[in-house]
């Protein structure tokens, strides 16, 4: 095995690339006197909302909390059902469950891997109150279709944008098509901090006010009095300052990911690998190929070529004990994709150094 292992993601390379700006951002917080919900958070919230074309941004502790707070701000709670995909990170369904609602899984589009509109429509019951649609791997889901479905059925629509920082549908950034959207700033994301962080964006000022209360003890603006039972999930000042330093580089990083995606398509065309859709609005949080013997291919890449690849997400959530039901849902496309998907290194700093070697490794492994 090659000792020069290529990791699937290396956020430390991005930190090193922008270290002077990050150091200055941290120093500004250390030189100040506010460390929780201070000026750095307010500055980032305003900048991120403007970047998306959203009216309100509320910084929170992580992406899971962002899903829960978005739903809570929209009035979703115990006894409600929320339709979503099982082909996603656990935080999506955990965020739903944290509100007291029950996640209901519908099948995905077999090409994009994103939640399928007709499948979601079939999953609607009298208890359904919302749909959480995930822009999987940075690929835009059919939010226009989901917006129409939600409106016709009287449901709330939440976008899970944990993979979709800077992704677009036409000229519009993802995150403003739903009634609210949840973002994660986990270090490996296209926009990531040096710890956990998240945000909710929305357009309705009343929803924004409820989310701001729910993120901190149920306090309303200007009064430290708990009006309802709520948690404590705040984006801290240091992480917000780091995100503000990295936000101007988001477009550059996304362009690098798109360039790497083109290089993968050109180099892997004859391997028989299933390729992700070529969508101009995709930001390739992951570049995910498909192979019928995925685990064997992954092992060969690691042990014969020193290339580490990820699997996102297998098994799908409806097969996790936390979300198991007496009658498992029929999700054939979800289950097939979960058994075949393989995430290649796509981070710009990795691709710039290693992409030709990764392509050669895949060509060799697929041929053997």
pLDDT at 223: 84
> Closest by alpha carbon to 339, among 295, 287, 274?
295
Same fold? 12-248, 249-367: no
pLDDT at 1: 37
Structural domain boundaries of the chain?
12-248, 249-367
Phi/psi at 133 (nearest 5 deg)?
-105, 130
Compute the distance between CA of residue 174 and CA of residue 160 in angstroms, rounded to an integer.
Answer: 10
pLDDT at 368: 87
From first to last of its 368 residues, the chain has per-residue pLDDT tens of 345 899 999 999 999 999 999 999 999 999 999 999 999 999 999 999 999 999 999 999 999 999 999 999 999 999 999 999 999 999 999 999 999 999 999 999 999 999 999 999 999 999 999 999 999 999 999 999 999 999 999 999 999 999 999 999 999 999 999 999 999 999 999 999 999 999 999 999 999 999 999 999 999 877 899 999 999 999 999 999 999 999 999 999 999 999 999 999 999 999 999 999 999 999 999 999 999 999 999 999 999 999 999 999 999 999 999 999 989 999 999 999 999 999 999 999 999 999 999 999 999 999 98
Compute the distance between CA of residue 75 and CA of residue 69 in angstroms, rounded to an integer.
Answer: 10
> Closest by alpha carbon to 117, among 108, 127, 130?
108
What does pTM read for this prediction?
A: 0.96
Domain 12-248 CATH (choose: 3.90.1170.40, 1.10.540.10, 3.90.1150.10, 3.40.640.10)? 3.40.640.10
Compute the distance between CA of residue 26 and CA of residue 285 in angstroms, rounded to an integer.
Answer: 26
The 10s digit of each residue's pLDDT in 48-75 is: 999 999 999 999 999 999 999 999 999 9
> H/E element holding 225?
none
Compute the distance between CA of residue 148 and CA of residue 156 in angstroms, rounded to an integer.
Answer: 11
pLDDT at 326: 87
Domain 249-367 CATH (choose: 3.40.1800.10, 3.40.50.2300, 1.10.10.10, 3.90.1150.10)? 3.90.1150.10
Burial of 269 (0-12, 13-18, 19+ CB in 10 A): exposed
Is residue 175 within 8 A of residue 181, CB to CB? The reply is: yes
């Amino acid at each position: 095995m090659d000792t020069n292992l290529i990791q699937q993601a290396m956020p430390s390379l991005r930190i090193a690339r922008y270290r002077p700006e990050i150091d200055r951002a941290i120093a500004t917080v250390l030189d100040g006197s506010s460390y929780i919900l201070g000026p750095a958070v307010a500055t980032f919230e305003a900048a991120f909302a403007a970047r998306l074309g959203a009216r309100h941004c509320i910084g929170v502790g992580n992406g899971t909390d962002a899903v829960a707070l978005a739903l809570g701000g929209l009035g979703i709670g115990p006894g409600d059902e929320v339709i979503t995909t099982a082909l996603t990170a656990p935080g999506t369904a955990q965020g739903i469950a944290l509100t007291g609602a029950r996640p209901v899984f519908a099948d995905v589009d077999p090409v994009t891997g994103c939640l399928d509109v007709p499948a979601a429509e079939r999953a609607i019951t009298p208890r359904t109150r919302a749909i959480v649609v995930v822009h999987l791997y940075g690929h835009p889901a059919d939010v226009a279709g989901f917006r129409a479905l939600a409106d016709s059925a009287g449901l709330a629509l939440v976008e899970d944008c944990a993979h979709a920082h800077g992704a677009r549908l036409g000229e519009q950034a993802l995150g403003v098509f739903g009634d609210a959207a949840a973002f994660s700033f986990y270090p490996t994301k296209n926009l990531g901090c040096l710890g956990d962080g998240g945000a909710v964006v929305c357009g309705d000022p009343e929803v924004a006010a409820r989310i701001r209360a729910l993120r901190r003890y149920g306090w309303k603006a200007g009064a430290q009095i708990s009006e309802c039972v709520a948690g404590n999930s705040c984006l801290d000042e240091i992480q917000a300052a780091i995100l503000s330093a990295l936000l101007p580089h988001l477009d550059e990083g996304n362009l690098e990911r798109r360039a790497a995606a083109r290089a993968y398509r050109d180099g892997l065309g004859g391997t028989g690998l299933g390729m992700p859709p070529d969508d101009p609005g995709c930001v390739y949080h992951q570049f995910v190929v498909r192979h019928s013997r995925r685990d064997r291919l992954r092992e060969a890449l690691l042990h014969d070529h020193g290339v580490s690849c990820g699997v996102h997400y297998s098994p799908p959530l409806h097969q996790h004990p936390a979300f198991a039901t007496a009658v498992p849902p029929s999700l054939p496309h979800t289950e097939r994709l979960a058994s075949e998907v393989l995430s290649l290194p796509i981070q710009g700093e990795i691709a710039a150094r290693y992409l030709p070697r990764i392509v050669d490794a895949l060509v060799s492994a697929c041929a053997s």
